[in-house]
Amino acid sequence: MTMMRSRQDVTDAIIIARVAKGLSWSDIAGELAQSLEWTTTACLGQMAFTADQAAKLVAFLGLDQTALPWLQIPPAKGTLAGTAPADPLLYRLYEIVSVYGPAIKELIHEEFGDGIMSAIDFKFEIKRKHHEAGDRVELNMSGKFLPYKTF
Amino acid sequence: MTMMRSRQDVTDAIIIARVAKGLSWSDIAGELAQSLEWTTTACLGQMAFTADQAAKLVAFLGLDQTALPWLQIPPAKGTLAGTAPADPLLYRLYEIVSVYGPAIKELIHEEFGDGIMSAIDFKFEIKRKHHEAGDRVELNMSGKFLPYKTF
Amino acid sequence: MTMMRSRQDVTDAIIIARVAKGLSWSDIAGELAQSLEWTTTACLGQMAFTADQAAKLVAFLGLDQTALPWLQIPPAKGTLAGTAPADPLLYRLYEIVSVYGPAIKELIHEEFGDGIMSAIDFKFEIKRKHHEAGDRVELNMSGKFLPYKTF
Amino acid sequence: MTMMRSRQDVTDAIIIARVAKGLSWSDIAGELAQSLEWTTTACLGQMAFTADQAAKLVAFLGLDQTALPWLQIPPAKGTLAGTAPADPLLYRLYEIVSVYGPAIKELIHEEFGDGIMSAIDFKFEIKRKHHEAGDRVELNMSGKFLPYKTF
Amino acid sequence: MTMMRSRQDVTDAIIIARVAKGLSWSDIAGELAQSLEWTTTACLGQMAFTADQAAKLVAFLGLDQTALPWLQIPPAKGTLAGTAPADPLLYRLYEIVSVYGPAIKELIHEEFGDGIMSAIDFKFEIKRKHHEAGDRVELNMSGKFLPYKTF
Amino acid sequence: MTMMRSRQDVTDAIIIARVAKGLSWSDIAGELAQSLEWTTTACLGQMAFTADQAAKLVAFLGLDQTALPWLQIPPAKGTLAGTAPADPLLYRLYEIVSVYGPAIKELIHEEFGDGIMSAIDFKFEIKRKHHEAGDRVELNMSGKFLPYKTF
Amino acid sequence: MTMMRSRQDVTDAIIIARVAKGLSWSDIAGELAQSLEWTTTACLGQMAFTADQAAKLVAFLGLDQTALPWLQIPPAKGTLAGTAPADPLLYRLYEIVSVYGPAIKELIHEEFGDGIMSAIDFKFEIKRKHHEAGDRVELNMSGKFLPYKTF
Amino acid sequence: MTMMRSRQDVTDAIIIARVAKGLSWSDIAGELAQSLEWTTTACLGQMAFTADQAAKLVAFLGLDQTALPWLQIPPAKGTLAGTAPADPLLYRLYEIVSVYGPAIKELIHEEFGDGIMSAIDFKFEIKRKHHEAGDRVELNMSGKFLPYKTF
Amino acid sequence: MTMMRSRQDVTDAIIIARVAKGLSWSDIAGELAQSLEWTTTACLGQMAFTADQAAKLVAFLGLDQTALPWLQIPPAKGTLAGTAPADPLLYRLYEIVSVYGPAIKELIHEEFGDGIMSAIDFKFEIKRKHHEAGDRVELNMSGKFLPYKTF
Amino acid sequence: MTMMRSRQDVTDAIIIARVAKGLSWSDIAGELAQSLEWTTTACLGQMAFTADQAAKLVAFLGLDQTALPWLQIPPAKGTLAGTAPADPLLYRLYEIVSVYGPAIKELIHEEFGDGIMSAIDFKFEIKRKHHEAGDRVELNMSGKFLPYKTF
Contact D102, D39 (CB under 8 A): no
Q: How far apart are CA F16 and CA E115, in angstroms?
A: 41
**Helix and strand totals (H; E) in chain H:** 6, 2
In sign, the C-alpha dihedral spanning A109, A111, A113, A118 is negative
The CA-atom distances, in angstroms, between B68 and each of B50, B64, C23, C114 are 10, 8, 14, 16
Catalytic position from the list D5, D6, D35, D92: D92
Q: How far apart are CA A53 and CA C30, in angstroms?
A: 70
F147 touches chain A (CB under 8 A): no
Residue numbers in E near I66 (CB within 8 A): 20
HSE of A111, CA atoms in CB hemisphere, 13 A: 22
Torsion, Cα I17 I22 I26 I32, to 10 degrees, reads: -40
Residue numbers in B near A145 (CB within 8 A): 128, 134-137
Which residue in H has a C-alpha nearest to residue J6's C-alpha?
Answer: H16
H83 touches chain C (CB under 8 A): yes
Q: How far apart are CA A59 and CA A108, in angstroms?
A: 26
Strand order in the sheet with H136-147: G115-129, G136-147, H136-147, H115-129
Contact E49, E68 (CB under 8 A): no
Residue numbers in F near J115 (CB within 8 A): 74
HSE of G87, CA atoms in CB hemisphere, 13 A: 23
CB contact under 8 A, B137 and A124: no
Q: Which residues contact A94 (CB under 8 A, 6 or more apart)?
A: A80, A84, A85, B80, B94, B97
Backbone region of residue A134 per phi and psi (left: phi > 0; alpha: psi in -120 to 50; beta: other values): left
Average pLDDT over residues A31-37: 97
Residue numbers in F near B146 (CB within 8 A): 118, 120-121
Question: Chains B/H: 3 or more C-beta pairs closer than 8 A?
Answer: no
Q: How far apart are CA H122 and CA H140, in angstroms?
A: 11
Task: For I25-76, write each residue's pLDDT tens digit.
Answer: 999 999 999 999 999 999 999 999 999 999 999 999 999 999 999 999 999 9
Which residue in J has a C-alpha nearest to residue F66's C-alpha?
Answer: J20
Give me the helix-helix angle, E25-32 and E51-61, nearest 10°.
140
**Out of B120, B123, B147, whose CB is closest to F116?**
B120
Give me the helix-helix angle, B7-21 and B51-61, nearest 10°.
40
In sign, the C-alpha dihedral spanning J78, J80, J83, J85 is negative
Q: How far apart are CA A1 and CA A16, in angstroms?
A: 12
Q: Which of A104, D114, A46, G142 is nearest to B94 (CA)?
A: A104
CB contact under 8 A, A83 and B82: yes
Which residue in A has a C-alpha nearest to residue C125's C-alpha?
Answer: A151
pLDDT at I110 over 70: yes
Contact H139, G141 (CB under 8 A): yes
The CA-atom distances, in angstroms, between A126 and each of A96, B35, B78, I106 are 16, 11, 20, 56
Q: How far apart are CA D88 and CA D92, in angstroms?
A: 6
Nearest chain I Cα distance for residue E122, angstroms: 13
The CA-atom distances, in angstroms, between E109 and each of E43, E145, F129, G23, I48 are 16, 10, 15, 54, 11
Which residue in F has a C-alpha nearest to residue A42's C-alpha?
Answer: F150
Q: Which of C31, J22, I120 is nearest to H113 (CA)?
A: I120
Q: How far apart are CA G49 and CA G64, in angstroms?
A: 16
- Whether F132 is catalytic is no
Contact I148, G48 (CB under 8 A): yes
Q: How far apart are CA C34 and CA C24, in angstroms?
A: 14
Active-site residue set of G: 92, 95, 118
B119-128, F1-10, H46-55, range with the lowest pLDDT: F1-10
Q: How far apart are CA F47 and CA F76, in angstroms?
A: 9
pLDDT tens, position by position, for chain C (151 residues)? 689 999 999 999 999 999 999 999 999 999 999 999 999 999 999 999 999 999 999 999 999 999 999 999 999 999 998 899 999 999 999 999 999 999 999 999 999 999 999 999 999 999 999 999 999 999 999 999 999 999 9
Catalytic position from the list F110, F118, F138, F142: F118
Q: What is the pLDDT of residue F72?
A: 98
Task: For H64-107, write each residue's pLDDT tens digit.
Answer: 999 999 999 999 999 998 899 999 999 999 999 999 999 999 99
- Chain G segment 102-131 residues within 8 A of D by beta carbon are 115-116, 118, 120-121, 123
- Identify the residue among F108, F117, F120, F145 best suited for mutation to test binding to B, counting B beta carbons within 10 A and taking the highest: F120
Q: List, in sequence order, every residue forming a beta bridge with E147; answer none if it has no partner.
A: E115
Task: For G10-64, write each residue's pLDDT tens digit.
Answer: 999 999 999 999 999 999 999 999 999 999 999 999 999 999 999 999 999 999 9
Torsion, Cα I52 I53 I57 I59, to 10 degrees, reads: 10
Residue numbers in A near D37 (CB within 8 A): 151
Which residue in F has a C-alpha nearest to residue J111's C-alpha?
Answer: F74
Residue numbers in I near H148 (CB within 8 A): 120
Model confidence at A30, in pLDDT bands (50, 70, 90)? very high
Q: What is the pLDDT of residue E1?
A: 62
Model confidence at A136, in pLDDT bands (50, 70, 90)? very high
Task: For G31-41, write each residue's pLDDT tens digit.
Answer: 999 999 999 99
I147 touches chain E (CB under 8 A): no
Q: Which of E31, F119, E19, E65 is nearest to E39 (CA)?
A: E31
- Identify the residue among I117, I118, I120 best suited for mutation to test binding to H, counting H beta carbons within 10 A and taking the highest: I120
Q: Which residues contact G94 (CB under 8 A, 6 or more apart)?
A: G80, G84, G85, H80, H94, H97
Q: What is the CA radius of gyration of chain J?
A: 17
Contact I117, J137 (CB under 8 A): yes
Catalytic position from the list E35, E92, E138, E142: E92
3-state helix, strand, coil in chain B (%, to 5): 50, 20, 35
Q: What is the pLDDT of residue C82?
A: 83
Q: What is the CA radius of gyration of chain H?
A: 17
**Out of A78, A86, A89, whose CB is closest to E88?**
A78
Which residue in A has a C-alpha nearest to residue F9's C-alpha?
Answer: A5
The per-residue DSSP string of C110-124 comes to: HHH-SEEEEEEEEEE
HSE of C8, CA atoms in CB hemisphere, 13 A: 5
**What is the mean pLDDT for each group of 10 consecutive residues in chain J (151 residues)?**
92 97 98 98 98 98 98 97 93 97 97 97 97 96 97 93
Model confidence at B2, in pLDDT bands (50, 70, 90)? confident
The CA-atom distances, in angstroms, between D66 and each of D5, D28, D50, D70, I137 are 8, 19, 15, 8, 60
pLDDT at F121 over 70: yes
Task: For E78-106, write each residue's pLDDT tens digit.
Answer: 999 889 999 999 999 999 999 999 999 99
CB contact under 8 A, D120 and G151: no
Contact A97, B94 (CB under 8 A): yes
Question: Chains C/F: 3 or more C-beta pairs closer than 8 A?
Answer: no
**Out of G77, G82, G95, whose CB is closest to J83?**
G82
Q: Which of G80, D74, A45, D90 is nearest to B84 (CA)?
A: D90
Q: Considering chain C, what percentage of its residues have pLDDT values greater than 70? A: 99
pLDDT at D21 over 80: yes
Contact I112, I147 (CB under 8 A): yes
In sign, the C-alpha dihedral spanning F101, J104, H101, J91 is positive
E73, exposed or middle or buried, with CB in 10 Å at 0-12, 13-18, 19+? middle
The CA-atom distances, in angstroms, between C106 and each of D83, D89, D96 are 22, 10, 18
Domains and CATH numbers, chain F: 1-113 (1.10.260.40), 115-151 (3.30.1160.10)
Q: Which residues contact J79 (CB under 8 A, 6 or more apart)?
A: G86, J98, J99, J101, J102
Contact D73, A24 (CB under 8 A): no
- Whether I95 is catalytic is yes
I1, exposed or middle or buried, with CB in 10 Å at 0-12, 13-18, 19+? exposed
DSSP 3-state assignment of J126?
strand
Amino acid at J134: G
Helix or strand holding residue I34 (H, E): none
Q: What is the pLDDT of residue I103?
A: 97
The CA-atom distances, in angstroms, between A88 and each of A60, B105, B112, F85 are 39, 10, 15, 18
CB contact under 8 A, E149 and J115: no
Q: How far apart are CA B36 and CA B58, in angstroms?
A: 17
Contact B84, D77 (CB under 8 A): no
Active-site residue set of B: 92, 95, 118
Amino acid at E19: V
Q: Considering chain E, what percentage of its residues have pLDDT values greater than 70? A: 99
The end-to-end CA distance of chain G, in Å, is: 41
Question: Chains A/G: 3 or more C-beta pairs closer than 8 A?
Answer: no
pLDDT at G1 over 80: no
Q: How far apart are CA A60 and CA I132, in angstroms?
A: 67
Task: For A50-105, write each residue's pLDDT tens digit.
Answer: 999 999 999 999 999 999 999 999 999 999 988 999 999 999 999 999 999 999 99
DSSP 3-state assignment of I24?
coil
Q: What is the pLDDT of residue C18?
A: 97
Task: For G93-111, write each residue's pLDDT tens digit.
Answer: 999 999 999 999 999 999 9
I151 touches chain G (CB under 8 A): yes
Q: How far apart are CA J140 and CA I139, in angstroms?
A: 6
J137 touches chain I (CB under 8 A): yes
Task: For D43-96, write each residue's pLDDT tens digit.
Answer: 999 999 999 999 999 999 999 999 999 999 999 999 998 899 999 999 999 999
The total of other beta-carbon atoms located within 10 Å of residue A52's CB is: 11
